[in-house]
Amino acid sequence: MTGLLLLNPQVTVTVNALPATPTITASGPTTFCAGGNVTLTSSAGTSYLWSNGATTQSINVSSAGSYKVQVTNASGCLSAASATTAVTVNAIPVTPTISPGGPTTFCAGGSVTLTSNAEASYLWSNGASIQSINITASGSYTVKVTNASGCQSAASIATVVTVNALPVTPTITADGPTTFCTGGNVTLTSSSESSYLWSNGSTTPSINITASGSYTVKVTNVADVKAQHPPSQL
């Protein structure tokens, strides 16, 4: 009997190419302050697998870390991982505090120094950019600080400065001539205010004078601010 040769059916083998290694494009700086973010986008593929588990072409990143992506093509082949994109998130400084160098309520002509706790740079609500500011005007003052990474803090709690106006310079009224003979007298009366201090030590609105001299009066208003009358000569 003549022998038979049996042939196997033809088997076709197809080897699909791997996708090109993807690249990552950042939408902005990859180093930023806490509260910021950056979008990382992969070059095109059929599907995506990021190192953080995401499966979209773009991811929004707000946490520090090293990010890479692999893509799959239409044949289902998975690429090698992309180069790593490092994201750095810098801390925001602690909210600063303001230390006054003295009372924050004072009379016109006075001042107070406000000092921020130490940091790399400063921005006060009045525009100053130094650690300590000298204040002579009423207002509400805050400060923000920036650290060495360039991150700015929240504003401090406001320090309120109150500058009280001086009273009007008082006037002295004499009830008669201020030149008289021994045995005479004259009453000097200050214009009205909250309290009085005469140059002879009296603290009443009016004083009775029997001796020659130069008399002045200082008055204090309800805010405890003083003004002085020029001398009245007797």
Instruction: Tally the residues of the chain.
Output: 234
Distances, alpha carbon 191 to alpha carbons 198, 211, 220, in Å: 12, 22, 11
**What is the structure's pLDDT at 225?**
55
d(CA 171, CA 123): 45
d(CA 173, CA 171): 7
> In sequence order, what are the beta bridge partners of 81?
none
**What is the structure's pLDDT at 6?**
65
How many CA atoms within 13 Å lie on the side-chain side of 212? 4
- Please identify every stretch of the chain with a pLDDT value under 70, giving residue numbers as ranges: 1-8, 224-234
Neighbours of 144 (CB within 10 A): 19
Q: Using one digit for the tens of pLDDT, what is the confidence trace for 68-120?
A: 999 999 999 999 999 999 999 999 999 999 999 999 999 999 999 999 999 99
Q: Structure pTM?
A: 0.77
**What is the structure's pLDDT at 133?**
98
**What is the structure's pLDDT at 9?**
76
